[in-house]
Structure 1
Amino acid sequence: MSMSDDDRPVRKVAHEIGCDLSLLSVDELAARIALLQAEIGRLEAERARKGESRSAADKLFR
């Protein structure tokens, strides 16, 4: 029995640092760039949140 495109499982977009990019299409590269930009934003937000917590703790214990 063959699967139609709608029946196939959706492959989760993931990126491994240092992987071979030569086999990816322009659309796949754009998707990975968007994924990594979103992750950078998430990391920067967490860093800022932790920096604020640390600053508050430093002020409390001075």
Structure 2
Amino acid sequence: MDLDELFPDKPKDPLTLLVRQDLDPLSVDELHARIAILEEEIGRVRAKISAAVDHRANAESLFKK
């Protein structure tokens, strides 16, 4: 999916700016650090998704009674 489709009205969105950043000036160590930070962010996002799904399931079960 293209980020322009995901954030069409947010050209200055940090995620959009991140993926458009030129990686050429970065060293191998900087690239490894970048990957580590992005993997941590992926974990944070996955945890948020899981919490949202659990919250919704709990709410649905509460209102089905």
TM-score when normalising by structure 2: 0.69
- Provide the rounded CA distance (Å) in 1 between the counterparts of 2:30 and 2:20: 16
Identity of aligned residues (%): 46
1:30 to 12, 32, 36: 32
- 5+ unaligned residues in a row in structure 1: which ranges? 1-14
Of the three residues 41, 44, 52, the one matched with 1:42 is 44
SS class of match (2:18): coil
Cα distance in 2 for partners of 1:32, 1:18 equals 14
**1:1-47, Cα deviation, whole Å (9 max, x unpaired):** xxxxxxxxxxxxxx822200011000000000000000000000011
1:5 aligned partner: none
The structure in which a higher percent of residues are helix is 2
Mark the structure with the bigger radius of gyration.
1
CA displacement at 1:60 relative to structure 2: 1.1
Given candidates 20, 23, 27, the residue that maps to 2:22 is 20
Q: When the two structures are aligned, how many residues end up with a matched partner?
A: 48
Alignment gaps of 5+ in structure 2: 1-16
